[in-house]
Structure 1
Amino acid sequence: MYFNGFYHEFYQYNLNGPIFGDIVWGHSVSTDLVNWIGLEPALVRDTPSDIDGCWTGSVTILPGGKPVIIYTGGDKDQHQAQNIAFPKNRSDPYLREWIKAANNPVLRPDEPGMNSIEFRDPTTGWIGPDGLWRMAVGGELNGYSAALLYKSEDFLNWTKVDHPLYSHNGSNMWECPDFFAVLPGNNAGLDLSAAIPQGAKHALKMSVDSVDKYMIGVYDLQRDAFVPDNVVDDRRLWLRIDYGTFYASKSFFDSNKNRRIIWGWSRETDSPSDDLEKGWAGLRQSPGPFG
């Protein structure tokens, strides 16, 4: 996110080594997206609903300039749920400390047909024409891959909409879903909670089959559903964000330069023993503004 003059990059981080496990939220800040200051982790595994890991999520800036993190946590049985955290001190320009909400987890996969170990990676929230917040969460519903849709008045108490934002019956569970508006022929970014100009399209992105894919379509406000311009059943033919090693991306609206930036994870082919020897593994990259 961009907030009060700083870009904040949050990322999946193992404090104890360069292999998967013991995942917390790393945190770095920058004024130019090039030079970064590494900070202490923003979120660590210290509550029952995230003791198995503080996994992917997003940050939404509420009215009045109030950032809020919503992220997936895993409990001791590896069941997944969504949790919320707020800055301890908004006057700290680095937002170094975050406090978890008392009512965590705010969302559990406890409705019929939901898979409790395939429920993660909430998107940035957006406001609909009815003034309610919305967000999508990657999940598996009745065997279908879905961007599950939720609504809230206050970003703390959420209600599942009776239908997904979009679903598909021929793909693996969608990780790191993303949903945002674009304006054809214009490289400027759009804030999904602001008035969307006429002629805008919407992009629904998902991480599946070890790559990041997306569809272009429209957001039907009456149905509260994403409608692709072209329905392609074979997911191998879906559009790709990047044709290199690029996965688990998340985007944000950069209000500083009126653009949308997508960050992704570049995985390496080194062995775990090589990663342990060099002391790090993987990196974050951006293919540039998405317009």
Structure 2
Amino acid sequence: MANSCLWLICLFSLMLGHGVLQLEASHIVYDNLKTLQPATANPTYRTSYHFQPPKNWMNDPNGPMIYKGLYHFFYQYNPNGAAWGNIVWAHSTSKDLINWVSHDPAIYPSQEAADINGCWSGSATILPGDKPAFLYTGIDPKNSQVQNLAMPKNLSDPHLIEWVKSPNNPLMAPTTVNKINASSFRDPTTAWIGPDGRWRVIIGSKINRRGLAILYRSKDFVHWIKAKHPLHSAKDTGMWECPDFFPVSINNQSGLDTSMIGLGIKHVLKLSLDDTKHDYYTVGTYNLVKDIYIPDKGSVDNDSGLRYDYGKFYASKTFYDSAKKRRVLWGWINESLSETDFVKQGWAGVQAIPRSLWLDRSGKQLLQWPIVEIESLRQKQVKLPSTVLKKGSVQEVLGVTAAQADVEISFEVKEFDKAEVLDPSWTNPQLLCSRKGASVKGGVGPFGLLVLASKHLQEYTCSFL
């Protein structure tokens, strides 16, 4: 705990909180996939808590869902190397969102007219009768971005190993009539049913610098008609990638099925900005009559708006976990390395720890927390009693020996009379922190953690608040 403008830094080898487990990420690989992997991969900086394949390039999360008691996770993956390219939909299943079994790729380029040049991002929708379906972006022979459908070959298989593409693909495509930009038309969302019984889906796009969430409707999930107007758009935001549109409850933390509408419900529109590689979201109202989304007053509709995360976090995707009545968030973490370094280490990219997501009581922003299942990995608990630290002091946490750790820590500053007055121009915390640096002293800080620290603090990594 802290009084007045005390500055506290907790130094630890890597762990403070509830526990630690020394392990490699649990990801079993079938033998028939080994030939697709590079010969070696450097494990030095691989994670233990986050999802990642054993080797190669990974980016956007695709089509997460639960089916017959199994969680399914699909993702953009290069089976041939650690740089982006040759993209397929890799596929893994889990009983707990923590320990994963890898399967053959679910979708890969195979349809000449629809995806022969790439199978890019998309989403899963559970159709009536508990039937999963994928809508995804394919790259056709002209390198135009088009939207395709794939469904499981065998619904009795809980692992959903084989997927069959619709012979009608592509279902949605740019034309001279609809005036869609063929190079900016991608990443369909999970679809939802309106009160008229028609399915709806949005696809990211742009016209000049105006970002668009293009709306399509369908009676049968195969034949889609473009709406006259987008679900939403915003000027000067550039290309909208990986949109996500879902309802949230005003009254409690329970998640809602994507098609839920009615009283006590708001909606969230999340967008991934291709220009800045940031995800931002707004909270607002879905007008069922006009089929448009309207952000609430004060919900900033551009890159200065609310984000799930101010670190490396992009192309995020949520799904409704019907088993535990929660909405779960996935997001891609891309390291700041060159392509040469990716290839050298033999792997690239991890997925952020899945998070439960719900609306704050104010109704103005979302709250999130790592899924409770992550606690099953905690062992050898190390605790630090509540401590008052004086300005400039360092409290070392002993007993931590793991290379990776899960940390829970809280700080309390009892007096804020010396805190800086909030400047209205401080709308971008990430930019502000990059200009200031972690060691800049303020009225009540910095305080936080030093990790991977040497004995006399010649080297360490800052994690200040």
**TM-score computed with the length of structure 1 as normaliser:** 0.96
Is the 1:55–1:71 contact (alpha carbons within 8 Å) kept by the matching residues of 2?
A: yes
Corresponding position: 1:66 with 2:131: yes
1:84 match? 149
2:357 match? 290
Corresponding position: 1:198 with 2:263: yes
Specify which of 284, 300, 303 is matched with residue 217 of structure 1.
284
Is the 1:261–1:286 contact (alpha carbons within 8 Å) kept by the matching residues of 2?
A: no
Counterpart CA distance in 2 for 1:172 and 1:287 is: 28
Corresponding position: 1:258 with 2:322: no
Q: Provide the aligned C-alpha RMSD in A.
A: 1.4
* CA separation of 1:218 and 1:279: change in aligned 2, threshold 3 A: same
Q: Secondary structure at the match of 2:183?
A: strand
Specify which of 155, 163, 180 is matched with residue 114 of structure 1.
180
1:272-291 correspondence runs (5 A)? 272-286=339-353, 288-291=355-358
Counterpart CA distance in 1 for 2:241 and 2:332 is: 13
Name the % identity: 50
1:164 match? 230
Corresponding position: 1:28 with 2:92: yes
Shift, 1:56, TM fit: 0.2
Which AA in structure 1 matches 2:287? D
Counterpart CA distance in 2 for 1:95 and 1:203 is: 30
Regions of 4+ moved over 2 Å: 141-144, 230-234
Please state which structure has a larger fraction of its residues in strand.
1
Counterpart CA distance in 1 for 2:184 and 2:278 is: 18
Counterpart CA distance in 2 for 1:234 and 1:197 is: 24
1:10 match? 74
Query: Could you give the per-residue CA deviations for residues 174-207 of structure 1, whole angstroms, max 9, x where no partner exists?
Result: 000000011135211011223x352211000000
Is the 2:282–2:301 contact (alpha carbons within 8 Å) kept by the matching residues of 1?
A: no
Shift, 1:260, TM fit: 0.5
1:44-55 correspondence runs (5 A)? 44-48=108-112, 49-55=114-120
**TM-score computed with the length of structure 2 as normaliser:** 0.61
1:132 match? 198
Counterpart CA distance in 2 for 1:232 and 1:112 is: 30
Counterpart CA distance in 2 for 1:249 and 1:151 is: 24
Query: Could you give the per-residue CA deviations for residues 252-274 of structure 1, whole angstroms, max 9, x where no partner exists?
Result: 00001000011110000122222
Is the 1:113–1:142 contact (alpha carbons within 8 Å) kept by the matching residues of 2?
A: no
Counterpart CA distance in 2 for 1:236 and 1:151 is: 29
2:241 match? 175
Specify which of 149, 168, 175 is matched with residue 215 of structure 2.
149
Counterpart CA distance in 1 for 2:300 and 2:323 is: 38
Which AA in structure 2 matches 1:151? R
Is the 2:121–2:188 contact (alpha carbons within 8 Å) kept by the matching residues of 1?
A: yes
Counterpart CA distance in 2 for 1:155 and 1:97 is: 20
How many residue pairs match? The answer is 290
Q: Which deviates the most, 248-257 or 109-118?
A: 109-118
Query: Could you give the per-residue CA deviations for residues 75-123 of structure 1, whole angstroms, max 9, x where no partner exists?
Result: 2332100000110111111000001000100000213431001000000
Say which one has the larger Rg. 2
2:449 match? none
Q: Secondary structure at the match of 1:41?
A: strand
Which AA in structure 1 matches 2:81? G
Counterpart CA distance in 1 for 2:142 and 2:306 is: 36
* CA separation of 1:271 and 1:188: change in aligned 2, threshold 3 A: same
Shift, 1:233, TM fit: 6.9
Where in structure 2 are there 5+ consecutive unaligned residues?
A: 1-64, 359-465
Shift, 1:230, TM fit: 2.4
* CA separation of 1:150 and 1:259: change in aligned 2, threshold 3 A: same
Where in structure 1 are there 5+ consecutive unaligned residues?
A: none
